[in-house]
Structure 1
Amino acid sequence: QLESRADLNGHCTGSIRLLPDNSDVFISQVTWSSYVTMLRINKSYDLQFNGAHFLAKEVVLSSYPGMLFSVDDFYETDAGITIMETTVHIWNTELYDMFITPESVPTWI
């Protein structure tokens, strides 16, 4: 039963590797899905936000036609920040009440 749940819900994973001397960090992100989602495109958004607290003016992301966000969960900004997400499945649904709050950020934000 656990294997069938993972097959139905998984579509990406990520990895982070910090060098032993802390001089650099490497990230990896991979997405898999059905053949019909093969068409991916690279998007670049020029954000017109003003103010000192907005560091990124441009966001580059992998996505699909018609989508506003990265279903692949991978973003890079001109501020030198890379954002990626991977899913950690919680099979014990009773834990949702402890960790899912109104302050949680949905994946598409």
Structure 2
Amino acid sequence: MMEATPPHLNPRRSLAFDGFKLFLSAALLLLGGCHSPRPIQFGFYSVPKADLTAVRELGVDFVVGTKTKEYLDAAKQLNLQVIGTGSKFHNHSVLLGNYLSDEPDLLGISPAQIA
């Protein structure tokens, strides 16, 4: 007795072989596109203050860098946001977030110590 081919393995039921479904999918994608409520932001890690201008000219939106007043003020002049390391200047207008620790479990740092 011959077994029936499961539907997911049947090439006649596959999207690649169904011209109408393929056309409909392409039309919906072209008409609607892929909508995102916010534009995707791009950032660089560990950017020195001296390179902030060059990074901004590349179209970068944020950097991960030190939270010194000079660094944050320089980023503000360039309309760059900063994910900062360090414990000062938590209320600076360019701060996007705080960088707490890289792979703390490998360094033996508990979640309680980070919080």
Q: Above 0.5 in TM-score? A: no
Which structure has more relative contact order (CA 8 Å, sep 6+)? It is 1
| TM-score of the pair, normalised by structure 2 | 0.21
Structure with bigger gyration radius = 2
More helix by share: 2
More strand by share: 1
| TM-score of the pair, normalised by structure 1 | 0.22
